[in-house]
């Protein structure tokens, strides 16, 4: 029976990823036990070494839940995926290897251990032995160094003119001022089938490097370059008594709403609380139950209205009328839906699952709808029940009604006369640290406006807007029901996809629901599959969550800068954020002047982030979204930039941490232990304060003519 409030674990027969995993690529390895295992129905965020690029392409095409951009590490293709145990086993059978369980569906910890292997030298050695002439030319695209935690790191990107040769190997050699030398291999990076460059993760060095050179297995040699200090910018020092550290716990949307109300009361002269115009669905779902046995024959019956609207607890049953030649009929009385099954002349029940589903779906204005459970089509309908409909939601303290998303407007002059900055977070529900960043930022501005002259002056010059949680419904679900929830709670699925076993896969990816460079315009990085993690919705701006962001920006045309706060991985990005697959054609690139502004501002903001605890966002992960992460069709930053003329950036907070003991970079996940989330809030709030200074300086250099 389906009377339990807590739903069963996510079904492992996902019609989304299972279809992708069921077609192994050529040359897949023989089945083998994974290095790390999950229970078949357990869900986790797993770092996986994929068998080859084709396997990744199949996952992307199927809408697999990729946490960040796959990376080449020591010649291996590494991806972070949200998987069930059965899906992980299927991947392993295709030649993939599980490297680390980053985070389970019920924990918030992550410690990733990775191994290295030596770079292949065979081709290079063969060319040296034969004396073959160089057949390619190398050019450094990036050459940087920095220090964090007392440790110096170097990073480089190099492009070869032999871009069509997949076997070209490139090695970078560094030299320090005291003559120490070292080297590290770079690995080829392709995107959408197009060669981009060779790169590697940051590498440790004994001190500041003064020279980089690159050589290729084809004999090419670059000219020596002097690596630059990254980011080579730092914020002004904080004065004595500067107030910060206003975050002491993870915050649910209910907590956030209470804090917004408190800030509005406490700082009436500096804050307006804005109710955004589009109410979300709220933390609500239709009530449902299995009528019958899902393992044998069953019909999924669900209420048309939400469970909290008087439908939780309604009972459904099928009965044998006990008389011959009776038609299939239905009656609803006293909160009990009774299906009287049809019988033949001998009194034998003849109704099938399809008959029962059709009967329930037939009435106009019905209270119920039904779907034949996967694998049950055409089977005899059993006499069963009664079963109780239930929405399955666990967050009893969450209001069961449409949700009003709120924004804070902060500044001395909140009349549109000052340049505006928008910071918004938690488009993706599972990214719990992101509203901590925006709220810490807001409280720093407000508290220090009372005691710090520089902050007070800043709030006289800039009009600041903050949306701490864009997607409150999904966030409530993530906190109370399924911590890996990415999307909102609107269920656009039909047919078998409405089976409650897929409940953790319903919803729309809010950051794929915008209008510029969207899936509906042919851009890559979103899905039409309602169960996909990056499902774009039924149309552009179909969701109230995305409309709220754009409506706020349109209502306040003084907003010229925006930051979308996501997690995790440590990225700093800007448009273009999407491309079309055929030829990897991106949205138009910013002009030279605008590109210069994006990068120069990024250096300042990355420097401000690093000032807190030494965290440095890597130069290889700083740049346009489509270049440093992946194509994200229909993302909000692209619409803000291309349609509204706003300089729009994206944070991915939660930078990888260097583990000196293992010599590896380790990730932190969506919901790290709170100490790590607290650190992310502190450092990225500092970055947002620097963004406000960037806006102030831009306004001073580009005065509006009236």
User: Could you give the residue numbers annotated as active site?
Assistant: 652
Closest Cα to residue 156, out of 208, 196, 123, 200?
Answer: 200
Residues β-bridged to residue 424: 467, 564
Tokens of 28: 């897949």
Helix ranges restricted to H, 238-277: 253-266
Cβ atoms within 10 Å, residue 669: 27
**Gap between the Cα atoms of 254 and 398, Å rounded:** 7
In what helix (H) or strand (E) does residue 586 lie, and over which residues does it extend?
strand 585-586
**Gap between the Cα atoms of 303 and 360, Å rounded:** 11
- Asked if 563 contacts 557 with a C-beta cutoff of 8 angstroms, the reply is no
Tokens of 539: 């149309």
Laid out side by side, the sheet with 43-50 consists of 71-73, 76-84, 43-50, 97-104
- Do strands 194-199 and 329-333 pair parallel, antiparallel, or not at all (unpaired)? unpaired
Residues β-bridged to residue 271: 410
Tokens of 116: 């290295």
**Gap between the Cα atoms of 636 and 581, Å rounded:** 20
Q: Which residues contact 579 (CB under 8 A, 6 or more apart)?
A: 192, 517, 523, 524, 585, 586, 587, 626, 631
Closest Cα to residue 316, out of 337, 293, 292, 289?
Answer: 337
**Gap between the Cα atoms of 651 and 601, Å rounded:** 13
**Gap between the Cα atoms of 326 and 322, Å rounded:** 9
| Dihedral angle computed from the Cα positions of residues 340, 344, 346 and 352, in that order, rounded to the nearest 10 degrees | -70
Q: Which residues contact 198 (CB under 8 A, 6 or more apart)?
A: 157, 158, 159, 160, 168, 170, 186, 187, 188, 189
**Gap between the Cα atoms of 694 and 683, Å rounded:** 17
* DSSP line for 500-516: GGGGGG-S--GGG-SST
The residue ranges of DSSP E strands in 180-285, in sequence order, are: 181-191, 194-199, 203-205, 209-216, 228-229, 271-275
Q: Which residues contact 538 (CB under 8 A, 6 or more apart)?
A: 492
């Amino acid at each position: 029976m389906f009377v339990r409030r807590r739903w069963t674990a996510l079904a492992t027969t996902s019609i989304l990823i299972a279809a992708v995993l069921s077609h192994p690529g050529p040359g897949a390895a023989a089945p083998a036990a994974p290095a790390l295992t999950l229970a078949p129905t357990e869900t986790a965020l797993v770092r996986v070494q994929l068998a080859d690029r084709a396997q990744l392409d199949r996952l992307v095409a199927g809408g697999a839940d990729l946490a960040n951009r796959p990376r080449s590490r020591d010649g291996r293709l590494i991806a972070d995926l949200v998987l069930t145990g059965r899906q992980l086993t299927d991947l392993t059978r295709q030649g993939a290897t599980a490297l680390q369980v980053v985070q389970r569906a019920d924990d918030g910890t992550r410690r990733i251990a990775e191994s290295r292997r030596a770079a292949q030298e065979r081709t290079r050695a063969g060319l040296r032995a034969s004396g073959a002439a160089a057949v390619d030319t190398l050019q450094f695209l990036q050459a940087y160094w920095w220090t964090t935690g007392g440790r110096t790191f170097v990073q480089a990107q190099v492009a070869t003119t032999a871009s069509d040769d997949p076997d070209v190997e490139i090695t970078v050699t560094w030299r320090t001022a005291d003559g120490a030398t070292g080297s590290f291999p770079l690995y080829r990076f392709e995107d959408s089938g197009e060669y981009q460059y060779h790169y590697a993760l940051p590498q440790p060095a004994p001190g500041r490097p003064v020279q980089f050179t690159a050589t290729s297995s084809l004999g090419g040699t670059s000219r020596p370059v002097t690596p630059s200090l990254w980011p080579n910018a730092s914020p002004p020092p904080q004065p004595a008594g500067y107030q910060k550290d206003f975050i002491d716990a993870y915050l649910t949307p209910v907590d956030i709403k209470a804090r917004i109300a408190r800030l509005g009361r406490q700082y009436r002269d500096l804050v307006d609380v804005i109710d955004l115009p589009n109410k979300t669905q709220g933390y609500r779902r239709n009530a449902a139950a299995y009528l019958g046995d899902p393992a044998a024959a069953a019909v999924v019956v669900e209420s048309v209205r939400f469970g909290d609207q008087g439908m939780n607890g309604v009972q459904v049953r099928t009965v044998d009328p006990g008389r011959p030649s009776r038609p299939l009929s239905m009656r609803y009385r006293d909160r009990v839906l009774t299906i009287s099954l049809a019988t033949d002349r001998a009194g034998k029940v003849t109704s099938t699952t399809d008959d029962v589903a059709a009967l329930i779906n037939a009435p106009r204005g019905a209270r119920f709808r039904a779907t034949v459970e996967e694998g049950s089509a055409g089977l005899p309908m059993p006499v069963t029940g009664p079963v109780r409909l239930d929405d399955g939601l666990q967050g009893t303290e969450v209001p069961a009604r449409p949700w009003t998303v709120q924004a804070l407007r902060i500044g001395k002059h909140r009349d549109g006369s000052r340049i505006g900055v928008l910071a918004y977070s938690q488009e993706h529900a599972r990214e719990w640290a992101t509203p901590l960043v925006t709220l810490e930022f807001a409280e720093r501005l407000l508290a220090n406006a009372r005691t710090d002259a520089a902050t007070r002056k800043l709030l006289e010059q800039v009009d600041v807007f903050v949306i701490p949680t864009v997607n409150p419904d999904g966030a409530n679900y993530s906190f109370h029901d399924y911590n890996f929830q990415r999307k909102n709670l609107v269920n656009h699925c039909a047919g078998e996809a409405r089976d409650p076993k897929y409940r953790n896969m319903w919803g729309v990816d809010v950051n794929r629901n915008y209008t510029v460079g969207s899936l509906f315009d042919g851009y890559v990085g979103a899905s039409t599959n309602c169960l996909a993690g990056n499902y774009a919705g039924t149309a552009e701006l179909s969701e109230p969550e995305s409309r709220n962001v754009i409506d706020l920006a349109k209502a306040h045309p003084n907003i010229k800068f925006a930051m979308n706060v996501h997690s995790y991985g440590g990225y700093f990005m800007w448009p273009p954020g999407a491309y079309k697959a055929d030829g990897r054609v991106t949205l138009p690139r910013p002009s030279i002047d605008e590109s210069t502004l994006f990068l120069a501002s990024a250096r300042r903001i990355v420097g401000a982030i690093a000032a807190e605890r030494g965290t440095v966002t890597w130069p290889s992960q700083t740049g346009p979204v489509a270049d440093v992460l992946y194509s994200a069709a229909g993302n909000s930053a692209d619409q803000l930039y291309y349609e509204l003329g706003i300089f729009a950036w994206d944070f991915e907070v939660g930078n990888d941490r260097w583990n000196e003991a293992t010599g590896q970079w380790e990730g932190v996940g969506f919901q790290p232990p709170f100490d790590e989330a607290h650190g992310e809030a502190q450092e990225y709030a500092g970055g947002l304060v620097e963004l406000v200074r960037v806006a102030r300086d831009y306004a001073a250099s580009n005065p509006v003519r009236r």
